[in-house]
Structure 1
Amino acid sequence: MKNLQETDYPAYYSNYINQVENSDCIDALEESMNDFVNFIENIVPAEKYEYRYQPEKWSIKEIVQHIIDAERIFAYRALRFARFDKTPLSSFEENDYVDVCAADKREMSDLLQEFLLVRKSTIKMFESFSDEMISNKGIASGGEVKVLAIGFIISGHAIHHQKVIKERYLKN
């Protein structure tokens, strides 16, 4: 499956990797990008973008911003490890990022444009990696992860949040 072994990533990323049906990393990145944008653009009415199913939960706009922020961080990790940088990288506190992102003050079209730019950049970066680079590993958030696995984590992360939005935000 996806040319990955269980030793290629920490177990806590299994949920994201298992969301991805496509076995090609680049195709998975493109497919999840297109599916996610199409899904978000078809949410009506637009007021739903700021809906929270519980007061302490993120809005849909904040989820989109979170996906963008997380992708930038994951892509940075992939770049470092693909370039054989062995420096362990720390984790990030996603709630702290969302608390200050001001996503609800932005237009969804602006957030989606940013998502597309970030994802297209991620795709170009992964396309540039040699077989050796894509197979390299590094330490992030206390666990060893292969560059290839990071590509599937990025795809699966967007798919995961798309499912959360469907299940928890759009039932009303």
Structure 2
Amino acid sequence: MKRTDIYPMPEFFERYINLTDDVELKDAFAISLQELKQLPLDKWEAIGDKVYAPDKWTIKDILQHMIDTERILTYRALCIARGENARLPAFDEESYARHTDASNRTLEDLIDELSLVRASSLAMFNSFTEEMLQRSGLSFRGSYSVLALGFIVTGHQRWHLNIIKERYEVLG
């Protein structure tokens, strides 16, 4: 199923979904894995722990946030695909960020972990039938389908990589 098969479009998350290509979900995941292999690590190393504004995350913090968020979103997708009817819990991304140790990890380590999580997510989404992808459940900001969650994951990556490119790479 493709991005344009998402109906209804979840309001808050459309900003991520609309950053993805209108391709089959498995292809969106494959593209996102390829994008991780092409990151300009030399530029990012030069930026180090600089931030573009006070109280903003470093590049390492952003990568850790992407890892954490993907794990949470794919958990939601699994629950909904398996028929969970309870509202799934939200999470406080700022609290999560305060309780990581991303600054003591290397960029390579974070990107390796993100790539592994992404590959695992791809395998899980590939196991879902079309019926499972169309199932919807309740969580943060309303209801959304398993299909939407897959495109949220891949779009969330592009959202943050765009921020890094636009606001951080100029710092290097």
Using the size of structure 2 for normalisation, the TM-score is: 0.93
Correspondent of 1:3 among 2, 5, 21: 5
- In the aligned structure 2, how far is the partner of 1:162 from the partner of 1:45? 11
Structure 1 counterpart SS, 2:144 = strand
Aligned pairs for 1:39-54 within 5 A:
39-41=39-41, 43-44=42-43, 46-54=45-53
1:150 maps onto 2:149 in alignment: yes
* Equivalent-residue separation in structure 2 for 1:66 and 1:37 (angstroms): 18
Query: What does 1:96-115 correspond to in 2, within 5 Å?
Result: 96-115=95-114
- Identity between Structure 1 and Structure 2 (%): 37
| Residue segments in structure 1 that go unaligned for 5+ positions in a row | none
Q: Partner letter of residue 19 of structure 2?
A: Q
**Equivalences, count:** 169
Map residues 84-163 of structure 1 onto 2, 5 A cutoff. 84-163=83-162
1:45 CA displacement:
5.7
- Range with bigger deviation, 44-53 or 89-98: 44-53
Deviation digits for residues 23-74 of structure 1 (CA, Å, limit 9, x no counterpart): 2111111111221342253x42614142211231000000000000000000
- Please, which runs of 5 or more residues in structure 2 have no aligned partner? none
Q: Deviations over 1:48-105 (max 9, x none)?
A: 1422112310000000000000000000000000001111112111111111111011
CA contact (8 A) 1:62 1:103 kept: yes
- 1:65 and 1:95 map into 2 onto residues whose CA distance is 12
Any conservation in 1 of the 2:44–2:59 contact (CA below 8 Å)?
no
Q: Distance in 2 between matches of 1:109 and 1:16?
A: 25
Kept after mapping to 1: 8 A contact 2:43/2:169: no
Alpha-carbon shift at residue 149 of structure 1 (Å): 0.4
In 2: Cα distance, 1:40 partner to 1:137 partner: 37
Kindly indicate whether the alpha-carbon contact (under 8 Å) linking 2:60 and 2:107 is maintained by their aligned counterparts in 1. yes
Moved over 2 A (4+): none
**1:45, 1:108 → 2: CA distance?**
8
Cα distance 1:19–1:45, how it changes in 2: closer, same or farther (>3 A)? closer
Matched ranges for 1:1-80 at <5 A? 1-5=3-7, 7=8, 9-41=9-41, 43-44=42-43, 46-80=45-79
